[in-house]
Every structure is written in structure tokens, then in C-alpha cells.
Amino acid sequence: MEEDIFPLAPDETFSFECSPQRPCFNACCRDLNQFLTPYDVLRLKNHLGLASGDFLTRYTTSHDGPATGLPVVCFKLDPAANWACPFVTLAGCAVYADRPSSCRTYPLARTVVRDRASGQLRVYHYLLEESHCKGFSQGRQWTAEQWLADQQAAPYLAVNDWFLDLIGLKAQTGHGPLDLTRRHLVFTALYDLDSFRRQILEDGLLNAHHPPQPFVDALGRDDLALLRFGHDWVKAAVFGQPIGF
């Protein structure tokens, strides 16, 4: 797919609309290399009522990110189905309410940079125009923030930004891949949350750290708290950061 990327100023608008009436409907769900964030996996496995390990085995593959050396999870695409997303149907997305971040924000791309002096995050938006997409020919005008609000992207973006700290810590240690033990730790703590929960509740993963019981109880019932702690656990176990409860 040919594409052009244009930076968007905060108050700049673009015209876009996606619907089944568009001749390109579902075209963006094929022939793509779509990565999934940890929060994407959490939402999708819960939507489908699957354990995280089952979801990951059935629908995804993983590799080491060339830029970071950290595990990257992508949809497992079927060449016999024209490399289509496993959840696309003739009627549209079968998991639309919990669709991944990149689907939710399309046609926008978003980059986040942490200011080294202030520690604040700077967010930049870009408009991605692909040759197959006819959604730009008409439709209402949007700013980037209006579009993201309409697509209910805020919880996805907020949780996805937790990963920035891990990227920064990994950059300090070099961009090569992790050894197999640390790679498995990162993959489990961020993506295979049901296995991570079992390690905590049944295998005593945290016993040596003496966490407060209410904290452990929260990890047992709250997926988002578990994912938040998964990022903190990676910081501690892989990058030697202090851990707090």
C-alpha cells in the first residue's frame, strides 16, 4: 500500500469518514503488519473470553523489535485469506468495541517524545493517507483531538504511554535483543497477563518482596492494576529499578 504522512498542527483539521458505503470498506484490514500493545491484548482477550495465553497462541506471533530489542506482538495473518486481520468480516470488525489502538486512531499516527529536561511528554500527530483509502473525499472536519475523542482512544493512549519508560530504559542498556530469560519475563508480564497473575498468586513470585496483601488482592481482581504492575515489574526485574507497592 502506498502512503503519505503529513504532520498535523493541534488546531489543523482534516476531512474523514469511514463506513460500509465506502468502496474501500475493509481494505485497511488486509495486507498489513499490525502490532498489538499490551493493552490491546488485554482488551481483545477479555472481549473474546479467552485466557491471554490462548489468545496469544491462536491469534498472534511475536518477534524482537528492531529499534528497541523488546518483544513485539503482531496479529497472525493468513496468506490464504489475503493477509486479512483475523477479525475482519464482510460486515466489518467483529471486535469493534475493543479494536486495537492502531485501528482506533486510523487515519492518524501518533508519536510521543519525553522532554529530557522537564520529563513531560510531547505528543505529535500525523495524517496517514493511503492510496486505497477513499475516506478523505468527504465527511466532517476533525482536529486530531476531536477524532481521538470520537474514537474513544484516550484509555488506550494513556496505557500505551506506560511503555515509553521501558523503551527509555532499554535504550540506556543498548538496542540489542534481550536474552531469552529476560525476554520471556517481559512477554509474560506485559502480554500474557493470566500467566503473570498465576505466578504472583500461586507460584509466590513476589513473596521475597513482602508486598502488602491488599496490593496482591488487587492484582488478583483488577486487570489494569496487573498490567500497571507488569510494567513496574519489568523495570525492576530487567532494568534494576527499585520496586514499590
The pLDDT, as a whole number, for residue 117 is 78
pLDDT tens for the chain, 245 residues: list them. 556 899 999 999 999 998 888 888 888 888 778 899 999 999 999 999 999 999 999 999 999 998 889 999 999 988 887 888 999 998 889 999 999 999 999 999 999 988 777 878 899 999 999 888 888 877 889 999 999 999 999 999 999 999 999 999 999 988 789 999 999 999 999 999 999 999 999 999 999 999 999 999 999 999 999 999 999 999 999 999 999 88
**How far are the Cα atoms of 125, 127, 133 from residue 130, in angstroms, in the given order?**
16, 10, 6
Helix (H) or strand (E) holding 42: helix 38-48
Transcribe 34-71 into DSSP letters.
-EE-HHHHHHHHHHHT--HHHHHHHHEEEEE-TTT-SE
Q: Cα-flanking dihedrals φ and ψ of residue 130, to 5°?
A: -100, 150
Q: Which residues pair with 123 in a beta bridge?
A: 112
Domain edges within the chain: 3-152, 178-239
The pLDDT, as a whole number, for residue 94 is 96
User: What residue type is assigned to position 213 of the chain?
Assistant: Q
Q: Cα-flanking dihedrals φ and ψ of residue 161, to 5°?
A: -70, -15
The pLDDT, as a whole number, for residue 2 is 57
Model pTM score: 0.94
How far apart CA 38 and CA 112 sit, in angstroms, is 17
